[in-house]
Amino acid sequence: MEFAYTPRLAELKDRARILTEKILPFEDECERNNGLCAESHASIKAAVLDSGLQAINTPTEFGGAGLSVLEQVVVQDELGKLTNALWDTVWRPANPLAHATPEQRERYLIPGARGDRRDAVAISEAAAGSDFSAAQTTATPDGRGGYVINGEKWFVTVGDVADYLIVLANVQPEHAPTMFLVDVDTPGVKITNVPRYTHTFVYEHPEFTFTDVRVGPEAVLGGVGGGLDLTRDWFTEERLMIGARTIGAAERALTLAVDWARNRVQGGEALINRQLIQGMIADSVVDITANRAYTHQVAWEFDQADPANAEQRKTLHAKAATVKLSASEASNRVVDRAVQIFGGRGYIRDYPVERLWRELRVDRIWEGTSEIQRLVIANEANKRGVENLLAFPAPVLG
C-alpha cells in the first residue's frame, strides 16, 4: 500500500498549482464586476491551453488531457483554491459526451476540448431538483425521425456563455428519459431569467425555456431512454470533483487563517497562541486531511473498477456520495472557522475567506443535496451491506 504521489501525480499537482497562481489575480475583477471581461477570459484560456490541463476528463485523441479520475481529483484539488468559481474557467466537457457518436464528437466534443465551444447541462427544473426523475420536459417524435422539445430548465450553470446545452427530456409517449444536444441558437430556446445568487460566480446559472424546439435524430446523446443512467454517471464523477475542489478551498481558507492568526495581536498576544483559536485550527486540519485521503482513495477505486460490473458501479456511486457529503460539509466548517478567526475582516468581500464562505455553501446543495447523499449511502448499506462501503477494494489478480 503506497501513500505517496507518483512522479506523474506530483507533476500534475505542480502544474495545476502554477495554473491556479496564474488565474488567482483575476479574483478581484470577478468579484468587483460580477464576472470577467473578454480580455481576461482570453488570458485565462491561453494559460489553460499552455498548461495542457484543458478538458482533463477527455481522451487525448479528442483534444483533452486524458487524465484518470485520480489525476483529475489531484488537479481539481488545486483549482478549488480559486474564489469566484474561477476553477470553472478551466473547462471540462460534461461526462455524458463520452457517449457521443463520431459525428457528435466532431461537432461538439472536439471543439469543446479546445475551448472553442462550451456546453451546459440542463437537468433541474422548478419541480425537479435532486429528484431528476421528476423532470417534466418532453421530447415528442415529429414523425420524421426528429423530436419537438418543450419545457423549462433551472440552474443551468454556465448557461450564459454556453453555445449548446445537454438537455434531459422525456421522449413521448413512453416517457423515456433521454439526453439531447441542443444548440442555444435553435429557434424556441430562450433564457427567461438570470437569478442573483449568494456567491459571485464567474458564470451565471440562468433559467431556460424550450418552446417547440425542433431537433433531428442526431441530437440524441447516448440513446433514447438512457438519460437517467447518463445523469447518474455524470453526478457520480462530478461529486468526486466537488469533494476535491472543496478540500482545496478549505486548505486555502485555513492557510490564510493561520497566517492571520500568527500576525494578529489581541490583548498583547498573537491570536494563534489562544487555545480557542488553536482548537479551530486543529479541527480544520482534521477535516481537511481526513477528507482528502478518502477522496483520493475513492478516485483510485474508480480507476481500478470494471465498468461492466453493475454492482461495483452502484457501490462506487454510494462512495462518491460519501465523498461529496463529507468533504462539502467539512469544508463549510473549515471556512466558517476561518471567517471567525479573521473577525470583522472575515466578513469583508475583499478577503478570500469571505468569498469562499459564500461559495462553498452551494456544494451542500448542487449535484444532489447532503440529504440526498445520505439516502444514497443508506440505501447502499441496506442493499449490499455496510462492509462494501467501509472496506478497501479486493486486490486485482493478474
Question: What pLDDT is attached to residue 395?
Answer: 62
Would the pTM of this model clear 0.85, i.e. be above it?
Answer: yes
Residue type, 84: N
pLDDT digits (tens, 9 = 90+) for 122-131: 999 999 877 7
Using a 10 angstrom Cβ sphere, with 0-12 exposed, 13-18 middle and 19 or more buried, the burial of residue 224 is middle
The H or E element that residue 150 is part of is strand 147-153
What is the three-class DSSP state of 3? Answer: coil
pLDDT digits (tens, 9 = 90+) for 151-184: 999 999 999 999 999 999 999 999 999 999 999 9
Give dist(CA 68, CA 279) in Å, integer: 37
Average pLDDT of every residue of the chain:
95
Give dist(CA 42, CA 337) in Å, integer: 36
**What's the chain's length in residues?**
398
**CB-based contact 108:162 (threshold 8 Å):** no
How many other CB atoms are there within 10 angstroms of residue 107's CB atom?
17
Residue 377 has pLDDT above 90, yes or no: yes
Report residue 234's pLDDT band, with 50, 70 and 90 as the boundaries.
Answer: confident
Question: What pLDDT is attached to residue 143?
Answer: 94
Buried b (16+ CB within 10 A) or exposed e, 23-37: beebbeebbeeebbe
Question: What pLDDT is attached to residue 328?
Answer: 98
The mean pLDDT value for 244-254 works out to 98
Residue 278 has pLDDT above 60, yes or no: yes
Give dist(CA 98, CA 57) in Å, integer: 9
Question: What pLDDT is attached to residue 28?
Answer: 97
DSSP letter at 90 equals S
Report residue 396's pLDDT band, with 50, 70 and 90 as the boundaries.
Answer: low
Question: What pLDDT is attached to residue 130?
Answer: 76
Give the end-to-end CA distance of the chain in Å, rounded to a whole number.
Answer: 17
Report the range of poorest mean pLDDT among 46-60, 122-136, 290-304, 351-365.
122-136
Percentage with pLDDT > 70 across the chain: 99
Report residue 2's pLDDT band, with 50, 70 and 90 as the boundaries.
Answer: confident
Report residue 41's pLDDT band, with 50, 70 and 90 as the boundaries.
Answer: very high
Residue 86 has pLDDT above 80, yes or no: yes
Residue whose grid cell is 466534443: 109
Residue 1 has pLDDT above 80, yes or no: no
